[in-house]
Amino acid sequence: MKILSRAALPALMLGVSATALTAQMVEPTTPPPAPEFSAQGEPVFVNRSDMFEYRALESYNEPEFVSAFVEAGMLPPVAERLPAEPMVYKAGNMPDGIGDYGGTLRHVIGGRPEGWNYWGGQSQGWGGIDIGMTECLTRTGPLFTINPEDLEPMPNLAKSWEWSDDGMMLTVNLIEGAHWSDGDPFDTEDIDFYWNDIVMNGEVTPLNGATQTTYGEGTTLEIVDDYTFTMTFTTAFPESVLYNFAYGNFCPGPSHVLKPVHPSYSDNTMEQFINAFPPEDMGFPVMGAWVPVEYRADDIIVLRRNPYYWKVDEEGNQLPYLDEVHYRLSTWADRDVQAVAGTGDFSNLEQPENYVESLRRSAEDDAPARLAFGPRTIGYTLYPNLSGNGWGEPDERAQAVRELNRNADFRKGITQAMDRVRLGESLVKGPFTVQYPGGLYAGTSYYDEASTVFYPYSLESARAHFEAAGLADTDGDGFYNWPEGMMDGGNVQITILANTDYQTDRNLAEGVVAMLEEAGIQAALNLLTGNDRDAAQNSGRYDWMVLRNGTSLITVVQNTTELAPVGAQTSLNHRANADGELDLLPWEQEMVDVVNAFIGSRDAAERSELMSQYQRLYTENLYGVGLTAYPGALIINKRFANIPAGAPIFMYNWAEDNIIRERVYVPADAQADHELHPNTLPGDDGPVTAG
Ligand code: BQZ
Ligand code: CA
């Protein structure tokens, strides 16, 4: 620690000797060991080719009620509704084999739909609804069951791809003859619109956000024919693009309905484009297995099977098996309660406050749902806004906080004010939570403990770092003041942005505020509901935020560009200002270089070494202040079959993707009468019956 040189001047000005300061500071260590917690249920590891293939079958089947639509001339025969070579799921990989048609899957979600324009960045309420409606070029959720030697994104809408010899070009082959749920052909018109008018248009960012640098600076895309396109890169073999072809990043929209209302092809403003498909509008075309047919605000969204879905089982049964899916518009906590009570069918148990009651209820003989804990992949980080050049238009106070955030001593003070044992126990007692330093998760493939720097809890050391950052309690009220001439010398005040839709997020944010106050920093909560919180984060309108981490810190290969400010809009907590300028700190630049080198490398040993460097840069410099991490549990009603063993609630994606819902079924003799629109198919204005 070069504390003498850096802190000497401010310390001497405050009459505290620099040596006294260093005596109070507690050195960083490596992280404390995680309490043993073994996940229940192991995945059955297979190769992707064991799971599915693309193949034409002799004949195809559909639910009886759908045939009535064909007989009434309302639909083409099923063979014409399917691609030449549909995706065929192999029975050998289905835990409970070929399924029965019928049944309803009842999700409960805590989000709310803003509209159907996922490509305009609108949320549909999360909880699996967008994952199910928007299918993407590749798929990664189910990768938790794939053998490490075959670990590469699964083909999905892209059925195959080839690299050029020099690795500078990728040729992508789409599935041929698939249709949107309204019968419109799926082809490279949809790719062209998505790439040129959404991804490369800096004014709009799709939900979960592919941006101009997600596929590498300077990358171009060319359409070759109806089902083929190429991408040309500026570095060789950026294989991470295949992961960024998956959910969230390359999920093309229905260009036949989006293009006519896009600003480049109409008189609409971007705002009008984004809001062109309100949740009340039914019949929005999807590539997913189910299509919205009913929306009642704050009550429910009902979806019915997509008659053009492009996947079948080995006996030629067009999928999905389940005819109807609900998203009850409630709260995330209620999702847990309803799943264990049996009035809902699915939950990712991710809020530890509900663990004890959920475990107790699920242990009873007559419990309606199975509950299985997975690996420790749910984690929270306290992120500083590291922009010093105006991202999010800060006022004088907010700008002053950001200047502090960019000071290593201030960040060290913040992290050493965190008592992570107390934070974890405030959520749940027992072997669940671990003190999380931040950065890559312990127990994951790129984690390297020796590269992980942990700053232990110490109020004394926290205060020493705040003083080394030039702060002093000049009016003796127990809270640090701004230096003379700044903000009228009043107390430093920082705000903590958090998601009010989760008890856990609120508990952690409240704990952070209390601990900062104990260390002499006044903090206030800024609790916003999901969609507003996400918007505040993405526009940089916050000082610090409590954030539940995404997949990038768990798998590294999914959403890799999120790991550092490699592009203007890729980082979680440091994006470019309105002029497109990123004012990276030196160690941030090093992180960017390491992440870019990782993206460009095909050498496993080199990639591991680069991620060790990343981990040291992240945890030593506190790109984020880790708080706590713990295992989640999957809760699913016992009547459902084909649930893959060991499915984690969160890894490459959420369980709503991981369990492959289009293969899930309810055995005929266990189907309950939950259907709200039996024997109907999606129409332009809602559910329609045959004839
Ligand atoms: C899972 C998930 C499926 C988003 C969302 C929500 C948004 C965030 C995050 C989770 C919910 C559930 O998480 O909590 O268990 O069902 O939907 O998408 O927190 O506010 O923006 O990143 O995935
Ligand atoms: Ca004060």
- Token look-up 């993405």 returns 538
**Quick one: what percent of the chain has pLDDT higher than 70?**
97
Does the beta carbon of 28 sit less than 6 angstroms from any atom of ligand 1?
A: no
Residue 247 pLDDT exceeds 60: yes
**Is 27 within a domain?**
no
Are residues 540 and 656 located together in one domain of the fold?
Answer: no
Are residues 267 and 134 located together in one domain of the fold?
Answer: yes
Are residues 292 and 354 located together in one domain of the fold?
Answer: yes
436 token code pair: 């999380």
Name the DSSP class of 207: T
Does the beta carbon of 650 sit less than 6 angstroms from any atom of ligand 1?
A: no
Q: Which atom of ligand 1 is nearest to the CA of 548?
A: 19
Are residues 101 and 170 located together in one domain of the fold?
Answer: yes
Does the beta carbon of 127 sit less than 6 angstroms from any atom of ligand 1?
A: yes
CATH code: domain of residue 146? 3.40.190.10
- Could you say which ligand is closest to the alpha carbon of residue 126? 1
Question: Alpha-carbon distance 49 to 518, whole Å?
Answer: 56
What is the band of 23 on the pLDDT scale with cuts at 50, 70, 90?
low
**Is 209 within a domain?**
yes
Are residues 352 and 394 located together in one domain of the fold?
Answer: no
Q: Which atom of ligand 1 is nearest to the CA of 534?
A: 21
Query: Which of 630, 651, 680 is where one domain is finished?
Result: 630
Does the beta carbon of 350 sit less than 6 angstroms from any atom of ligand 1?
A: yes
Query: Which amino acid type is present at position 304?
Result: R
**Is 4 within a domain?**
no
**How many domains does one find in the chain?**
2
Residue 19's Cβ-count burial label (10 Å; 0-12, 13-18, 19+) is exposed
530-550 average pLDDT score? 97
In degrees rounded to 5, what are phi and psi of residue 163? -90, 145
Q: Are 423 and 627 in contact (CB under 8 A)?
A: yes
**Is 32 within a domain?**
no
Q: What Rg, from alpha-carbon coordinates, does the chain have?
A: 26
Are residues 404 and 391 located together in one domain of the fold?
Answer: yes
395 token code pair: 């006022």
What is the reported pLDDT for 20?
A: 54
Are residues 128 and 246 located together in one domain of the fold?
Answer: yes
Residue 631 CA, ligand 1 centroid: distance in Å: 16
Does the beta carbon of 656 sit less than 6 angstroms from any atom of ligand 1?
A: yes
Which string of DSSP letters, residue by residue, matches 35-57? PP-PPSS----B-HHHHEEE---
Look at ligand 1, atom 19, and give the residue with the nearest C-alpha. Answer: 530
Question: Alpha-carbon distance 566 to 26, whole Å?
Answer: 32
Look at ligand 1, atom 5, and give the residue with the nearest C-alpha. Answer: 126
**Is 22 within a domain?**
no
Look at ligand 1, atom 4, and give the residue with the nearest C-alpha. Answer: 126
Question: Alpha-carbon distance 337 to 371, whole Å?
Answer: 12
- Could you say which ligand is closest to the alpha carbon of residue 550? 1
**Is 35 within a domain?**
no
What is the band of 39 on the pLDDT scale with cuts at 50, 70, 90?
confident
Residue 30 CA, ligand 1 centroid: distance in Å: 31
CATH code: domain of residue 454? 3.10.105.10
44 token code pair: 């059955």
**Is 71 within a domain?**
yes
Look at ligand 1, atom 21, and give the residue with the nearest C-alpha. Answer: 534
**The model's pTM:** 0.95
- Could you say which ligand is closest to the alpha carbon of residue 472? 2
Query: Which of 630, 648, 673 is where one domain is finished?
Result: 630
Are residues 608 and 645 located together in one domain of the fold?
Answer: no
For a mutational test of ligand 1's pocket, the pick from 107, 118, 126, i.e. the residue with the most ligand atoms closer than 8 A to its C-beta, is: 126
**Is 28 within a domain?**
no
Taking only the tens place, the pLDDT of each residue in 370-394 is 999 999 999 999 999 999 999 999 9
Range of the domain at 89: 48-373+634-688
Residue 559 CA, ligand 1 centroid: distance in Å: 15
Question: Alpha-carbon distance 83 to 310, whole Å?
Answer: 6
Q: Which atom of ligand 1 is nearest to the CA of 533?
A: 20
Residue 418 pLDDT exceeds 70: yes
Are residues 140 and 245 located together in one domain of the fold?
Answer: yes
Taking only the tens place, the pLDDT of each residue in 90-103 is 999 999 999 999 99
Are residues 351 and 447 located together in one domain of the fold?
Answer: no
Are residues 322 and 402 located together in one domain of the fold?
Answer: no
Look at ligand 1, atom 3, and give the residue with the nearest C-alpha. Answer: 127
Are residues 342 and 389 located together in one domain of the fold?
Answer: no
Residue 156 pLDDT exceeds 70: yes
Residue 400 CA, ligand 2 centroid: distance in Å: 16
- Could you say which ligand is closest to the alpha carbon of residue 491? 2
Does the beta carbon of 126 sit less than 6 angstroms from any atom of ligand 1?
A: yes
Q: Which atom of ligand 1 is nearest to the CA of 649?
A: 15
Does the beta carbon of 534 sit less than 6 angstroms from any atom of ligand 1?
A: yes
Taking only the tens place, the pLDDT of each residue in 321-378 is 999 999 999 999 999 999 999 999 999 999 999 999 999 999 999 999 999 999 999 9
Residue 2 pLDDT exceeds 50: no
Query: Which of 598, 615, 630 is where one domain is finished?
Result: 630
Does the beta carbon of 654 sit less than 6 angstroms from any atom of ligand 1?
A: yes
163-175 average pLDDT score? 97
Tell me the average pLDDT of the chain.
Answer: 95
For a mutational test of ligand 1's pocket, the pick from 654, 657, 658, 661, i.e. the residue with the most ligand atoms closer than 8 A to its C-beta, is: 654
624-649 average pLDDT score? 97
Which residues lie below 8 Å from residue 395, measured CB to CB, with a gap of 6+? none
Name the DSSP class of 352: G
